[in-house]
Structure 1
């Protein structure tokens, strides 16, 4: 265990990332660095992003602030940023981690996203423990291949992507301190922690060469032993000893409680086991009854009182690490700590372990069938049998993989801390609403057949639905992945543009169908261009934020960041006197900067056939968090909010999707209308194109127009909605109680 933050940063820099000689990191040294846009271009983009979010007076004030910035402090800060970035992998990376790690609110709901995996089609994995065992063994294969350098690197259309984030996916923990948080990365982690009814258990799963120590069936037996032990605890006692709820606290409060917990030597060993674990597996004892419950369970756990005691799954979590969550009915998903990894990275992991589960099923039927990963059973495994002719004179020592329970020494103060942490997370759950829509009317196939980008089409749907419900336009955010660059993360797409605003107003007017679709096409084309620019690092948010952070450092006369356990950057020299600023530039104090930084609609597209749903909490108190997946023949949307009409918003979205489908179908039919049939000289009714006889009565309306059912409101007859207002090993071998377990 590392005690020094500085040591931690050194270890991460030297040991965590695999050498670039392996397949996984083959392109790492060839990746370009994230470009710093020109100051003028950034300011132009900034003004354009705000144009539709401000009235004339507000926009004029913002323009004046931008002009002053360009004439005075802007060039100084831009030059300072160029100098700062000279010997760094990314100009934004350090500021990015500062932003995440200085966040003092609870990470649950505010930071951690979730994935819900599709159900495993394997009949034997339709229940909890087989599903969990399958996901664990597949995860071990992924980890082995990553650490061995055998994992195929990520690419997009042949372009290699940065693989740096995978070094922070496993064995990583967010640690609260009295000066913000830091990250600890344990690159040699070889065990997992399992939670059941708030109780903590652990067992080793990998040997020193990262080969699995257990088969899938053996993992399932371990899990069964854990469930049997945890389920003996009376319901009234579950919440009282559920240490995991402390990770849902405000980070400063959690820091104090963690120090109190670690003051006891035994507790310190227990918490080290949790921090060092590859990941946490949460075995819930309930099954969600509907889509909303499903989303709630993976986002923040469920709220359920029995006799005044909390027995919901909210006590069965540890939010400072990657969590694989499996419900009693086998529904499974992932909740992940977002600081070091983005959705694209976790999506690759989720998709691969889901796929590996299917391939392992095929191998059980046909032993010659391929699998995704290359992790053979360790020679140290209890059930290992060497190949014929390769028997060893001295058999490798077997590694103990018996599950052990972590038992905590809780003082009265810690018990009170657990109690109040539980009541606070319970309040948060009650204050947040999470709903899902699985729209099956159409999906990517229909959208592309009409010439639209699926993502742009759905983004316009969010703006149109919000406008249709509230009569106003608000700041909307979508991340664009910048992993084509070294240590790339994301750039912000500010999707509200003049073209999108024009579309929403035209759509909710008495304009013709062709005018509405033309406006939609124009808005989608603009969104596609904007997305491409942002993916190339040509956005405004990250650049302006880096300038803002440099300005703050100059004003504090402090030029080095706090150690964070991730970056290990050289110290920043103070700027020359001529390049120093004396006050925060007005561009950052102007209300426009706060407007663009407040995402009322925070959206993200994370599509993959392995996923059923994806979501996260709202980032603004009066906004929505919207995760969506565009499938071939459907669109899945998970929306969350605090005290807003989340269900009604999704119903309005569904109504819009059906409305716009009707308009598209109407236009398509009118453009491809068949000429009327004719009667020949013999009085025979014939098809005007083929000349073939038409049997049956001549009826001009024989081909009925299909009406698309529209639940809820339709705005085609609602007049000018646009006129409505707009508001602004293991060293832990002897730690833990051995629980009853049948011999292999």
Structure 2
């Protein structure tokens, strides 16, 4: 993959022109004029010098000029990674109900994941492509065996590329076992089921025999990073704990055997995104979560990889797990019965961490703080079937752009104003490519909102405005995927300016980065991402600002699925209801020519568009 092109740097003048265009909907007339002055000043003075430094970095970098800045953005994050950073996938149920018992399902997913890892290691894995173009495969090399290690100021990421074992947690008790025999052959699924069942029984019996509740050590991974770093240092003062932590850190992935039994997608989404923080290790790159009733999914610490990479894994894993069981029905018919006798399998090892009173106090504190965060994070699920991806394709509209316009209409109806919107655009066509930001609140989207809120507008007016906005959005997505976006270029220049400030006493950060426009652009009241396929029933993440929405969505041929998060219950519920209304009305407009009358939901004063 080294022959792939490197992430480009757009011409500075072009980026700045696009920046002004991007922030225009967010600013008053006076603010916009001030921003234009600061942009012109930057283009004349600091900008060219910083851009030359960025080009030099591009020439010197072995991977991507963005990679160092990107890693720092993630690893220097000091708040909890749970909810704030880690997204989740909910897997579809196994199509055969009898295979959805906890042990059966867990063993299937473990076996399928090991198969996936083997295909990576043996290089029999078909490379990713998009519209015929090869995509960078680097992220797969750090998908497994990776763990985020807490440290003061900046965490570090470690990867054990030759790992042969997995970790399992049940009732807050951690275990590990190899998934390969001495000859390097993966264990049969019956062996995996036996080990997993042993762990479930051992954890239950240990909990029942304990005089006091067992300390949920994994709660520490929900704490702010510097607090967790201090606890981590204290924990590793015990040599045995250090040995146990090495096993947990170097595991290929973590399997979480939960006692939860979610009855709907909303409950499942909450459990996979955060639950109560127990029975997890949020620093692990991949956590396979399997509930007592077989509902399953993935929580990921994705410092080193993005949703597209995990999606390929999820779909291949799901497909293999179903096909494997179909090929060998005898392997599941009698399993998932809890055994009364439970001889210790020789390859299962328990991680009996020594928990001091100080560590217990840290766990208690982390539990209290995370309970506040988890309780405040509301989740709402919208499963929309009236119109779908195939319907939009039939009417020659970009499904993704249509959804983004529905988000804009919904937010305006709810809040009476507009706000900065982030949509992730993949840049894996470049070597070590990650993502670029597509700003969905384009000027054409503002025109779309004006027309849709004009009582005198006709259906033809609205259809035209919608089509123009969707076309503009799709074009900007293409620019972002080609590395011609705004955010990453400016982010690189901003980081170079901060480095300059540290080296040169008296150097001032350019005014463009201290302007209200730059702050508003980066304050994402809607953080959105389209990531899904046949294997997923939901995809979600937390809001990125205190008053914002996290909007994960999946577009399928026969339905659309939305995972909505916000820190206010009423706003979450109302956003879902208004989104459903927007989708319905926009679909009716396209199908039947019925104009939309986009009144506000609460009668509050509208912002001038």
The DSSP-based 3-state class of the residue aligned with 1:434 is: strand
1:551 pairs with 2:497: yes
Residue number in structure 2 paired with 1:650:
576
Residue 639 of structure 1, aligned match among 564, 567, 575: 564
Matched-pair contact (CA < 8 Å) for 1:147–1:210: no
| Cα distance in structure 2, aligned partners of 1:459 and 1:539 | 17
Residue 464 of structure 1, aligned match among 391, 397, 409: 409
Matched-pair contact (CA < 8 Å) for 1:198–1:238: no
1:520 pairs with 2:466: yes
The CA deviation at 1:206 is 2.4
Give the structure-1-normalised TM-score.
0.77
Q: 1:239 to 1:50 in 2, by over 3 A?
A: farther
Matched-pair contact (CA < 8 Å) for 1:460–1:523: yes
1:184 pairs with 2:129: no
Q: Deviations over 1:358-379 (max 9, x none)?
A: 2213322699xxxxxxxxxxxx
| Cα distance in structure 1, aligned partners of 2:24 and 2:598 | 29
| Cα distance in structure 2, aligned partners of 1:466 and 1:315 | 34
The CA deviation at 1:118 is 0.7
Q: 1:249 to 1:237 in 2, by over 3 A?
A: farther
Matched-pair contact (CA < 8 Å) for 2:174–2:350: yes
1:316 pairs with 2:273: no
Matched-pair contact (CA < 8 Å) for 2:586–2:596: no
1:199 pairs with 2:144: no
Residue 489 of structure 1, aligned match among 434, 443, 455: 434
Q: Deviations over 1:583-607 (max 9, x none)?
A: 1100001111111111000000002
Residue number in structure 1 paired with 2:191:
218
The CA deviation at 1:471 is 1.5
Matched-pair contact (CA < 8 Å) for 1:509–1:722: no
The DSSP-based 3-state class of the residue aligned with 2:26 is: coil
The CA deviation at 1:581 is 8.7
Residue number in structure 2 paired with 1:87:
60
Matched-pair contact (CA < 8 Å) for 1:112–1:336: yes
The DSSP-based 3-state class of the residue aligned with 2:155 is: strand
The CA deviation at 1:238 is 7.9
The CA deviation at 1:95 is 0.3
Q: 1:723 to 1:330 in 2, by over 3 A?
A: closer
Q: Deviations over 1:277-329 (max 9, x none)?
A: 00000010121133321111000014xxxxxxxxxxx2110000110001111
Residue number in structure 2 paired with 1:683:
none
Residue number in structure 2 paired with 1:613:
538
1:653-668 pair list within 5 angstroms: 653-667=579-593
The DSSP-based 3-state class of the residue aligned with 2:446 is: helix
| Cα distance in structure 2, aligned partners of 1:616 and 1:237 | 37
Q: 1:533 to 1:401 in 2, by over 3 A?
A: farther
RMSD over aligned CA atoms reads 2.2
| Cα distance in structure 2, aligned partners of 1:500 and 1:535 | 20
Matched-pair contact (CA < 8 Å) for 2:413–2:601: no
The CA deviation at 1:415 is 1.0
The CA deviation at 1:517 is 1.0
Q: 1:31 to 1:237 in 2, by over 3 A?
A: farther
How many corresponding residue pairs? 591
The CA deviation at 1:109 is 0.6
Matched-pair contact (CA < 8 Å) for 1:326–1:333: yes
The CA deviation at 1:667 is 2.7
The CA deviation at 1:715 is 6.5
Matched-pair contact (CA < 8 Å) for 1:153–1:163: yes
Residue number in structure 1 paired with 2:479:
533
1:562-711 pair list within 5 angstroms: 582-643=507-568, 645-667=571-593
Matched-pair contact (CA < 8 Å) for 1:282–1:324: yes
1:337 pairs with 2:263: no
Q: Deviations over 1:60-105 (max 9, x none)?
A: 1111110000000000000011112112121111000011100000
| Cα distance in structure 1, aligned partners of 2:170 and 2:214 | 14
The CA deviation at 1:403 is 1.4
| Cα distance in structure 1, aligned partners of 2:582 and 2:211 | 48
1:504 pairs with 2:477: no
Gaps of 5+ in 2: 332-344
1:31 pairs with 2:10: no
Q: 1:63 to 1:237 in 2, by over 3 A?
A: farther
Larger C-alpha radius of gyration, 1 or 2?
1
The DSSP-based 3-state class of the residue aligned with 1:146 is: helix
Matched-pair contact (CA < 8 Å) for 1:505–1:721: no
| Cα distance in structure 1, aligned partners of 2:603 and 2:31 | 20
Gaps of 5+ in 1: 1-27, 303-313, 368-399, 559-579, 669-713, 729-744
| Cα distance in structure 2, aligned partners of 1:456 and 1:92 | 27
1:162 pairs with 2:136: yes
Q: 1:717 to 1:418 in 2, by over 3 A?
A: closer
The CA deviation at 1:442 is 1.7
| Cα distance in structure 1, aligned partners of 2:535 and 2:430 | 26
The CA deviation at 1:508 is 2.5
Residue number in structure 2 paired with 1:144:
118
| Cα distance in structure 1, aligned partners of 2:250 and 2:598 | 60
1:51 pairs with 2:24: yes
| Cα distance in structure 1, aligned partners of 2:231 and 2:593 | 63
